[in-house]
Amino acid sequence: MKRNTDITTPISSDAKRLYSLSGEICFAYTKTTLFKVAKITYELFEDESF
């Protein structure tokens, strides 16, 4: 989900800041969600004890 950063139309600094901030929040949320899923999966496999 990577957007092309070199946009020809000039964007105000506020909009740029907001865009980068929302991108960071989205990235952090995705990271924590993936971590939670991995942790749950790991615990499930630990309980199985092959």
| Per-residue pLDDT tens digits of the chain, which is 50 residues long | 555 555 556 668 888 888 888 989 989 999 999 999 999 999 988 877 65
Q: Is residue 38 part of a domain?
A: yes
Q: Is residue 4 part of a domain?
A: no
Q: Is residue 30 part of a domain?
A: yes
Q: Which residues of 9-40 are buried (b: 16+ CB within 10 A; e: fewer)?
A: eeeeeeeeeeeeeeeeeeeeeeeeeeeeeeee
Q: Is residue 17 part of a domain?
A: yes
User: How high is the pLDDT of residue 11?
Assistant: 65
29: its two tokens: 């949320």
For the chain, how many structural domains are there in total?
A: 1
User: How high is the pLDDT of residue 30?
Assistant: 93
Q: Is residue 44 part of a domain?
A: yes
Task: Flag whether the pTM goes above 0.95.
Answer: no
Residue 37 is part of which domain span? Answer: 12-50
Q: Is residue 35 part of a domain?
A: yes
User: How high is the pLDDT of residue 16?
Assistant: 85
Q: Is residue 40 part of a domain?
A: yes
Q: Is residue 47 part of a domain?
A: yes
